[in-house]
Amino acid sequence: MSEIEAIKERHSVRNYKPEKLHPQKVDLIKEKIDELNTEGNLHLQLIEDAGNTYNKLLNRMAGLGTAPSVIACVGPDDETLEQRIGYYGEKLVLFAQELGLNTCWAGTFNKKNINAEVGAGSRLVISIAIGYGQDKGKPHKSKTMEQVVEAKGERPLWFNKGVEMALLAPTAINQQKFKIRLNEDETVDFIDKGGMFSQVDLGIVRCHFEIGAERSTGEIKKG
C-alpha cells in the first residue's frame, strides 16, 4: 500500500477488537518511531497496553476505551512542538494503516494513566489510539478545495494534488480550520485559522499536502 492509498483508506476508528498488536507489527512500529523521533526531534512512544488511558466518560462513550494500545505524542517543548507532533505523528498513523492497523487521534484522555515518559522540558501533547478496528471508520465531510485555498491565477498540478490530499487529513472535530496559500514564487504557506489542537492539525495537513504534491508530476517548494 502506498502513502496515497493509506491516506485514502484511513479513517478514524473508535471501536477496537480486544486482540493485542501482533509482535511483528510492534517491532515495525517501534522501528518507525525511532526513525521519526530522530527526524523530528520527538519522543513518540508506543505503549502496548493502553490500560486506563481512555477511561474518561467521553472516551468510553465514543468507544475509545476498547483501544488495546496507544501512542503517546511527546517532545521537547517549543513553539514548533505541536506542528511537529502532527506532521510526524501522521506519518506514523499512515504507516500503521499500511500495516493493517487502525488509529484515532485523541486529545481527550487520562494523562495520569497513559504511562508515558515525559522528561524535563518536554510535553505530552496528544495521544493516538491504535489497534485492530471493529470497522474501518467512515469518511468525514470535507470542505471544497476553493474553501481552503488562497491563490492567484492558474494553480500547478502538484499544488492541487497536495490540496486534494490535505482535505483528507484528520482535524479536531473535523473543522478543517486551515488555509493553504500558493505564493507567486510557488512556495506554500499553511495558515492556522485557530481552534482546538489547530497547530497539530496544521502539521497533519502539511504531511498530507507534501505526500500529494511530491507524488504528482511536480515538486513542492518549501515555504
107 and 13 assigned to the same domain: yes
For 166, the domain range is 145-214
165 and 190 assigned to the same domain: yes
pLDDT at residue number 62: 80
pLDDT per position as a tens digit, 5-30:
999 999 999 999 999 999 999 999 99
pLDDT per position as a tens digit, 34-52:
999 999 999 999 999 999 9
pLDDT at residue number 217: 56
Average confidence (pLDDT) over 64-71:
95
Q: What is the pTM of this model?
A: 0.94
118 and 208 assigned to the same domain: no
23 and 126 assigned to the same domain: yes
171 and 115 assigned to the same domain: no
pLDDT per position as a tens digit, 114-156:
999 999 999 999 999 999 999 999 888 899 999 999 999 899 9
The domain that contains 60 carries what CATH number?
3.40.109.10
Decide if 138 is inside a domain: no
pLDDT, the chain, mean: 94
Contact predicate 116/23, CB 8 Å: no
Decide if 114 is inside a domain: yes
70 and 9 assigned to the same domain: yes
Least Cα distance to 71 among 35, 106, 108, 121 occurs for 106
Decide if 104 is inside a domain: yes
Decide if 136 is inside a domain: no
DSSP H/E element including 178: strand 178-182
115 and 210 assigned to the same domain: no
